[in-house]
Amino acid sequence: MPSSILLIEDNSADVDLIRRMLEKVDAGIRITVARDGAEALETIDNWGSESPAPEVILLDLKLPKVSGLEVLKHLKSNPRTKSLPVVVLTSSNELKDIQEAYQIGANSYILKAIDFDNFSQAISLIHRYWCTLNIHPE
């Protein structure tokens, strides 16, 4: 079964870059993109037998309509999605954002790198860990 990721990101350039990097390490990967917090909540609420939950969620914090922290609260307060791993992938290095994300239940907090090579390596490592090495509950 191919790897599956939900990417919640409003920046089109970041979406394209992350998609290319993930497809480079896993040609069969299924990537669902939500471009704002409201679209993310709708996507999450529609998961079921026809649209299964992903192995990992990559979540930007600075989203239009509904913030990334609100999306994270929704995920972690719902018994159906509580155990899904959420990697915050954001440009915010504000201590309050980092602390709040972990308090709500983020599994990891990674800063978007300005340097292409570092960012590419980070995306590859995220995929390797969460989609290859990590054991997921059924």
pLDDT in tens, 90-104: 988 999 999 999 999
pLDDT in tens, 55-102: 899 999 999 999 999 999 999 999 888 999 999 999 889 999 999 999
Contact in structure between 56 and 26 (CB atoms under 8 Å):
no
In whole angstroms, give the CA distance from residue 4 to residue 26. 10
Could you say which DSSP state residue 120 is in? H
Whole-structure pTM value: 0.92
Question: In whole angstroms, what separates CA 60 from the centre of its chain?
Answer: 7
CATH class of the domain defined by 4-133: alpha beta
